[in-house]
Chain A
């Protein structure tokens, strides 16, 4: 029987919709299971390596020796597995259409367990996100989903992993939208919610429904307390800045070290962490039990102050030295301690009635999260979900907004993005990410471009140029961009007797370019600034040419698009 092309197209499209829906649930379960396994593996490894009550030599040696091993693994087999996992997932989503090799997920699991389990002061949520996203990407490839569908599975899995790792399904959805996708109105909200809910059901069916933190029902005692919470926002902003700046600076120092030391850098971090653990064993690993104590008013003022400083130093060292682990949990830890200190001081000296210091510790968690991670809405909902306490919502929002503003004012680039830029990966701006319904530079660019090597003479350039009608040519070597040269410049130089001279001096370096994900409007605007050719450069690999945009490629795209629309309308009429 004959099957019309249009009905087959419709059949396939709808089928992929269904398949995607089923995969959303399956990926949600898988991401949750990976997150739970990751948590269990970290706990088991910690007990295995440190025992129940670790001795001083053990505290010193375990992080150092294990980091030697993880350093080898990270340098040799899984270089992409170092660090948090959230920015890498973001980069994969925005720059590689969600493509994450399965090897990275495996490497992240192994190195994450070893790093956090051996005492490094890092969180498990970021790695869980990357593991889940890596798994989703592999599933997408396995089922040969379209690139857009494969890409969509990444934030879905990220939400599921975070939901399972932190037991906060709503905040996880918001985190995926706010941080990974960068668009609160994304079409993926339904799939993300489904995966997040599935994940939390799976997680609770295995680990039980006990919350991570056991927080009393704190009350907002007096309206004047908002002043104290505002002060907490300022303190949170300052601590966030201190954390972000010191992390970036120390990481820059480690990155500047010779490449051959890369394998040993995690061990340097491990040694310093070992020394720190002797004096502050409370900063070992994730450290949620001490957050819990702070939330319940169980820590003294000087202890919380010391732990805030020690945790800040420990996390900065662990992360900068190239270990695998996140900053999600450390930011909550720092927030709980900074909030606890503020709470005790307010409780002692405020001239108005105040809530318990634990309430400030709770708000402090959200404040630091908003300041460091820069996801203010996620932080509000996360604390609300964690504590089930409506009373703290207003103070939380006040403190979060102040901390967020201070952090943004003095560190304009969000930490995750700044970390990526240290690795020469440039994410699109939030504004560009929000535009989802328009064509991108990648759609109108032509990958078939003519390039003249930078070391060519004018004679050689003329030989190449004479074969093509273009007025402007790309100067590039092995696909790496150097500049542009115009036909006029080549012909003029040849006519004036400089045929054997190198083209170097005539190459235009100061010109506009775009990245593949930038919208068509920006591309056309910039094309007008260049002499007839706009290079499209990769974000992840600076100066690598992915294609060019010329007036001809734009016209070709318009024609193709018009034909496509005509074909669709004819099919619709037939149907």
Chain B
């Protein structure tokens, strides 16, 4: 007797050796029954399940083999993509990385390479989406955040850019020289902040950077350059000085210190640093130009110490004549094709002032020097507005006037 299901109570109630009883939950078939439709079906069902299980295992094996083949093909395409990216063939590299990713979606290295190739080919939208998907799996990965920051920066999304940069700086780095790479990312962020006029934020990042600088002239020079760009000239000078201590022959540090001193109005120090810089690096045109300007300022400053009154009068007269000449040229140029602003009035004022530029007048009126410098400053500024930035003597004249508080 074969029992399918189990309900012995029911079986006892109805069953004898030849009984076939069927309840809702029980099927009982005796061996002596002639009519046994389920014997065959149960056997077939068992056989079918065995065949299905075998087919399942076979399919799994084939799938695993095919998976390995796909991974190998993906590696082939990744290597090809790397070669093409190195050869600056961005489109071909992108196609190759795409195939690598399609073959091995689990490999994040491939996806990251694809994102970078896409970004290099200016397919920013897709690059962003690819990296964002990667970030879902590894939100603290510094490299992923850095790539996102660079993409967000390309789209001028400042708040997102800053967020991703900070995530990158404080994120998890892999490999060697982690501190160095962190510093580089922070410098990248500072440059971006400066470019977006976020000077205060840039300065705070710079101060953090400054506290963590390695003792190398290059690092201090870089930081000092950034301080200069944010307008914190004193910190810049400090870092240039640090760099000079580490390498007394560092032309960049000397030139930077010269520029910082120049911006602080300390022209004597600036001349000293710049002369040293030109000596170290004679091909540095910037240093040479700045040195020339500094020398002009120092040689024409009518308020310089230890010079005679006559010398002062001569110097003021020189810069006055220079300012007047430039103003007249500008007036002539603008009167032909445009407005002239208040140049006419200033010219009248300058012409009226000219008779006072005599040595006796300076003796009688000690404030005349200040008045003269103030007038020169206003003349140069008015000319700047209409005829462009000053160069050479005119620039020096403005600096001299500013140095002595003109128009303040």
A202: B residues at CB distance < 8 A = 56
Q: State whether the Cβ of B45 lies closer than 8 Å to any Cβ in chain A.
A: yes
Are A297 and B126 in contact, CB atoms less than 8 angstroms apart? yes
Q: Nearest CB to that of A30 among chain B residues?
A: B52
B77: A residues at CB distance < 8 A = 52
Are B129 and A297 in contact, CB atoms less than 8 angstroms apart? yes
Q: With A33-B59, A210-B105 as given contacts, are A143 and B52 in contact (CB-CB < 8 Å)?
A: no
Are A214 and B55 in contact, CB atoms less than 8 angstroms apart? no
Are B37 and A143 in contact, CB atoms less than 8 angstroms apart? no
Are B55 and A33 in contact, CB atoms less than 8 angstroms apart? yes
Of the candidates B35, B38, B59, B129, the one whose C-beta lies within 8 Å of that of A216 is B129
With A and B bound together, what is the CA distance between A14 and B37 in angstroms? 13
Are B130 and A296 in contact, CB atoms less than 8 angstroms apart? yes
With A and B bound together, what is the CA distance between A12 and B125 in angstroms? 63
**B-contact 0/1 string along A29-43, CB 8 Å cutoff:** 110010011001001
B105: A residues at CB distance < 8 A = 210, 214
**A-contact 0/1 string along B66-110, CB 8 Å cutoff:** 100110010011000000000000000000001100100100000
Q: Nearest CB to that of A139 among chain B residues?
A: B48
CB under 8 Å from chain B, chain A span 115-158: 139, 142-144
Interface segment out of the listed A3-11, A87-95, A331-339, A403-411:
A3-11
B55: A residues at CB distance < 8 A = 30, 33, 37
With A and B bound together, what is the CA distance between A144 and B37 in angstroms? 10
B196: A residues at CB distance < 8 A = none
Q: State whether the Cβ of B3 lies closer than 8 Å to any Cβ in chain A.
A: no
Q: State whether the Cβ of B332 lies closer than 8 Å to any Cβ in chain A.
A: no
B66: A residues at CB distance < 8 A = 40, 43-44
A356: B residues at CB distance < 8 A = 125
Interface segment out of the listed B17-25, B141-149, B280-288, B306-314:
B17-25
With A and B bound together, what is the CA distance between A289 and B99 in angstroms? 8
Q: With A3-B20, A26-B48 as given contacts, are A143 and B63 in contact (CB-CB < 8 Å)?
A: no
Of the candidates B18, B22, B76, B133, the one whose C-beta lies within 8 Å of that of A52 is B76
B133: A residues at CB distance < 8 A = 214, 216
Q: State whether the Cβ of B60 lies closer than 8 Å to any Cβ in chain A.
A: yes
Q: State whether the Cβ of B62 lies closer than 8 Å to any Cβ in chain A.
A: yes
Are A11 and B98 in contact, CB atoms less than 8 angstroms apart? no
Of the candidates A1, A33, A139, the one whose C-beta lies within 8 Å of that of B20 is A1
Are B98 and A40 in contact, CB atoms less than 8 angstroms apart? no
A29: B residues at CB distance < 8 A = 52, 56
Are B19 and A142 in contact, CB atoms less than 8 angstroms apart? no
Q: How many A-B pairs fall under 8 Å by CB?
A: 91
A47: B residues at CB distance < 8 A = 69, 73
Are B98 and A298 in contact, CB atoms less than 8 angstroms apart? yes
A298: B residues at CB distance < 8 A = 98, 118, 123, 126
With A and B bound together, what is the CA distance between A43 and B27 in angstroms? 47
Are B63 and A40 in contact, CB atoms less than 8 angstroms apart? yes
Q: State whether the Cβ of A206 lies closer than 8 Å to any Cβ in chain B.
A: yes
CB under 8 Å from chain A, chain B span 8-44: 16, 18-20, 22, 24, 27, 35, 37-38, 41, 44
Q: State whether the Cβ of A257 lies closer than 8 Å to any Cβ in chain B.
A: no
Are B52 and A26 in contact, CB atoms less than 8 angstroms apart? yes
Q: Nearest CB to that of A29 among chain B residues?
A: B52
The interface residues of chain A, by DSSP majority, are classed as helix
B49: A residues at CB distance < 8 A = 26
Q: State whether the Cβ of A511 lies closer than 8 Å to any Cβ in chain B.
A: no
A293: B residues at CB distance < 8 A = 98
CB under 8 Å from chain B, chain A span 279-298: 289, 292-293, 296-298
Are A37 and B62 in contact, CB atoms less than 8 angstroms apart? yes
With A and B bound together, what is the CA distance between A30 and B53 in angstroms? 9
Q: State whether the Cβ of A207 lies closer than 8 Å to any Cβ in chain B.
A: yes
Are B48 and A289 in contact, CB atoms less than 8 angstroms apart? no
B56: A residues at CB distance < 8 A = 29, 33, 202, 206
Size category, B interface: 35 or more
Q: How far is the CB of A296 from chain B (nearest CB, A)?
A: 5
Q: State whether the Cβ of A22 lies closer than 8 Å to any Cβ in chain B.
A: yes
Report which residue of B44, B63, B98, B102 has the largest number of chain A beta carbons within 10 angstroms of its beta carbon. Answer: B63
Are B16 and A1 in contact, CB atoms less than 8 angstroms apart? yes
Q: Nearest CB to that of B124 among chain A residues?
A: A297
**A-contact 0/1 string along B109-133, CB 8 Å cutoff:** 0000000001000010110011011
Are A36 and B52 in contact, CB atoms less than 8 angstroms apart? no
Q: State whether the Cβ of A15 lies closer than 8 Å to any Cβ in chain B.
A: yes
With A and B bound together, what is the CA distance between A8 and B22 in angstroms? 8
Are B62 and A40 in contact, CB atoms less than 8 angstroms apart? yes
Report which residue of A22, A23, A289, A296 has the largest number of chain B beta carbons within 10 angstroms of its beta carbon. Answer: A296
With A and B bound together, what is the CA distance between A14 and B22 in angstroms? 10
Q: How far is the CB of A378 from chain B (nearest CB, A)?
A: 26
Q: With A1-B18, A52-B76, A142-B44 as given contacts, are A40 and B52 in contact (CB-CB < 8 Å)?
A: no
Report which residue of B16, B60, B105, B129 has the largest number of chain A beta carbons within 10 angstroms of its beta carbon. Answer: B129
Of the candidates B24, B44, B63, B123, the one whose C-beta lies within 8 Å of that of A206 is B63
A144: B residues at CB distance < 8 A = 41
Q: How far is the CB of A303 from chain B (nearest CB, A)?
A: 11
Q: How far is the CB of B103 from chain A (nearest CB, A)?
A: 9
With A and B bound together, what is the CA distance between A267 and B126 in angstroms? 39
Of the candidates A10, A23, A142, A292, the one whose C-beta lies within 8 Å of that of B22 is A10
A23: B residues at CB distance < 8 A = 45
Are B37 and A12 in contact, CB atoms less than 8 angstroms apart? yes
B41: A residues at CB distance < 8 A = 19, 143-144
Q: How far is the CB of A29 from chain B (nearest CB, A)?
A: 5
Are B129 and A296 in contact, CB atoms less than 8 angstroms apart? yes
Q: How far is the CB of B202 from chain A (nearest CB, A)?
A: 32
With A and B bound together, what is the CA distance between A11 and B38 in angstroms? 11
Q: With A26-B52, A47-B69 as given contacts, are A15 and B27 in contact (CB-CB < 8 Å)?
A: yes
Are A52 and B37 in contact, CB atoms less than 8 angstroms apart? no
With A and B bound together, what is the CA distance between A216 and B126 in angstroms? 10
B59: A residues at CB distance < 8 A = 33, 36-37, 40, 206
Q: How far is the CB of B39 from chain A (nearest CB, A)?
A: 12
Are B63 and A207 in contact, CB atoms less than 8 angstroms apart? yes
Q: With A15-B38, A214-B105 as given contacts, are A1 and B19 in contact (CB-CB < 8 Å)?
A: yes
Report which residue of B35, B48, B132 has the largest number of chain A beta carbons within 10 angstroms of its beta carbon. Answer: B48
Are A289 and B62 in contact, CB atoms less than 8 angstroms apart? no
With A and B bound together, what is the CA distance between A43 and B35 in angstroms? 49
CB under 8 Å from chain A, chain B span 266-305: none
With A and B bound together, what is the CA distance between A14 and B125 in angstroms? 59
With A and B bound together, what is the CA distance between A111 and B52 in angstroms? 23
Of the candidates A19, A37, A296, A297, the one whose C-beta lies within 8 Å of that of B45 is A19
With A and B bound together, what is the CA distance between A546 and B35 in angstroms? 34
Q: Nearest CB to that of A11 among chain B residues?
A: B22
With A and B bound together, what is the CA distance between A296 and B38 in angstroms? 55
Q: How far is the CB of B68 from chain A (nearest CB, A)?
A: 12
CB under 8 Å from chain B, chain A span 394-436: none
Q: How far is the CB of A410 from chain B (nearest CB, A)?
A: 36
Q: Can you identify 30 A-B contacts, CB atoms within 8 angstroms?
A: A1-B16, A3-B20, A10-B22, A11-B27, A14-B22, A14-B24, A15-B27, A19-B45, A22-B45, A26-B52, A29-B52, A37-B62, A40-B62, A40-B63, A40-B66, A44-B62, A44-B66, A142-B44, A144-B41, A202-B56, A289-B98, A289-B99, A289-B102, A293-B98, A296-B129, A296-B130, A297-B126, A297-B129, A298-B98, A298-B118
Seen from chain A, the residues whose Cβ lies within 8 Å of a Cβ on chain B are 1, 3, 7-8, 10-12, 14-15, 19, 22-23, 26, 29-30, 33, 36-37, 40, 43-44, 47, 52, 139, 142-144, 202, 206-207, 210, 214, 216, 289, 292-293, 296-298, 356
- Beyond A26-B52, A139-B48, 14 additional pairs, beta carbon < 8 A: A1-B20, A10-B22, A11-B22, A15-B37, A30-B55, A33-B56, A143-B44, A206-B60, A207-B63, A289-B98, A289-B102, A292-B102, A296-B126, A298-B98
The 6 A-B pairs at the shortest CB distance, nearest first, are namely A11-B22, A1-B19, A298-B126, A216-B129, A289-B102, A297-B125
Seen from chain B, the residues whose Cβ lies within 8 Å of a Cβ on chain A are 16, 18-20, 22, 24, 27, 35, 37-38, 41, 44-45, 48-49, 52, 55-56, 59-60, 62-63, 66, 69-70, 73, 76-77, 98-99, 102, 105, 118, 123, 125-126, 129-130, 132-133
